[in-house]
Amino acid sequence: MSEPLISIQNLHVENRVCEKSLLRKVNVEVKKGEIVGLIGESGSGKSLTARAIMGLLPLEMNVSGRILYKNDDLIKITSKEHRKLLGKEIGIIFQDYRGSFTPFIKIGKQMIETICTHQLVRKKEAKNIAFRVLCEMGLNSERVYHSYPFQLSGGQVQRAAIAMVLALRPALIICDEITTALDVMNGEKVLSYIDQVRKETGCAVLMITHDLAQAYKRTDRMYVMHQGEIVEEGLPEQIRCHHKHPYTKKLCSCLLSLPEDESVRKERVISL
């Protein structure tokens, strides 16, 4: 068994102001090349877990436990050291993509700056990379490259933001509800592309979602989060068929109510 790329151990986050525990002894591991799902309902603590990895928790939060990434404990390193890891080593795609770009600078210029900051490449090569990843995201790269964010639709900006993260080929990609702003087809395309990047580069992916069906389809292992705690973990099949926690049971009952396969769906359409 390979060593985990990132190992979150007993992560505890408390809001100092209201003395409320928001994350309780969270343990999550992601190995190189794995896609791991972190699923749970709204407010269960998924994004806080991601923000703890990124060192982006609000100041009023007390944090304890360990987040081991390669040779570092991400809870102990300085914000300057954290910044060095972000982008090149750990890339995060947020559910709120609007903060990914400055509004009044063209997308292409921002992409070139980001790529040149993190990789030893000249502007011309950075431009080629930007065009390639925009195209791989199914975008009209010429148009998007020369546009300001406000000239594009929300879904196009979201895909450009994803392209910018993937252009840096990080070792760990954290996807936080990334298909929220996308229609089903583009959501599927983006997830397939991330899977392709994973196969090409051997990177690890932590996929945060409340969509159990999506996690079931896309991940190698899953963690179920409920009220700030991990209540269940296992292979997607184990989570679906052999879960123990009542919350997972509730969650899975929604998944089980979906048609099993194409033939069932067709039967329903024909009988209408």
Ligand X SMILES: Nc1ncnc2c1ncn2[C@@H]1O[C@H](COP(=O)(O)OP(=O)(O)OP(=O)(O)O)[C@@H](O)[C@H]1O
Phi and psi angles of residue 119, each rounded to the nearest 5 degrees, phi first: -125, 150
Residue 210 engages ligand X in binding (rule: CB under 6 A): yes
Residue 198 engages ligand X in binding (rule: CB under 6 A): no
Among 3, 16, 58, 128, binds ligand X (CB under 6 A): 58
Measure the CA–CA gap between 136 and 133, rounded to whole angstroms: 5
Three-class SS state of 36: strand
Q: Residue 91's closest CA among 127, 59, 133?
A: 133
Residue 46 engages ligand X in binding (rule: CB under 6 A): yes
Q: Which is nearer to ligand X, 15 or 119 (CB)?
A: 15
Site for ligand X in 5-24 (CB under 6 A): 15, 22
Among 8, 11, 44, 233, binds ligand X (CB under 6 A): 44
In whole angstroms, how close is the CB of 254 to ligand X at the nearest point?
Answer: 15
Site for ligand X in 103-122 (CB under 6 A): none
In whole angstroms, how close is the CB of 47 to ligand X at the nearest point?
Answer: 3
Measure the CA–CA gap between 74 and 107, rounded to whole angstroms: 30
Q: Which is nearer to ligand X, 15 or 201 (CB)?
A: 15
Among 45, 149, 170, 187, binds ligand X (CB under 6 A): 45
Three-class SS state of 174: strand
Q: Which is nearer to ligand X, 11 or 134 (CB)?
A: 11
> Letter for the amino acid at 124?
K
Q: Which is nearer to ligand X, 139 or 231 (CB)?
A: 231
First to last CA, the chain: 50
Q: Are 191 and 205 in contact (CB under 8 A)?
A: no
Measure the CA–CA gap between 220 and 236, rounded to whole angstroms: 7
> By CB under 6 A, how many residues form the interface with ligand X?
12
Q: Which is nearer to ligand X, 58 or 202 (CB)?
A: 58
In whole angstroms, how close is the CB of 13 to ligand X at the nearest point?
Answer: 8
Q: Which is nearer to ligand X, 169 or 245 (CB)?
A: 245
Site for ligand X in 67-86 (CB under 6 A): none
Q: Which is nearer to ligand X, 3 or 60 (CB)?
A: 60
Measure the CA–CA gap between 197 and 189, rounded to whole angstroms: 12
Q: Residue 239's closest CA among 252, 256, 228?
A: 252
In whole angstroms, how close is the CB of 20 to ligand X at the nearest point?
Answer: 8
Measure the CA–CA gap between 184 and 187, rounded to whole angstroms: 5
Site for ligand X in 24-43 (CB under 6 A): 40, 42-43
Q: What letters, b where the CB count within 10 A reaches 16 and e where it falls short, cover 113-145? A: ebbbebeeeeeeebbebbbebbebbebebeebb
In the complex, which residues of this chain contact ligand X (CB under 6 A)? 15, 22, 40, 42-48, 58, 210
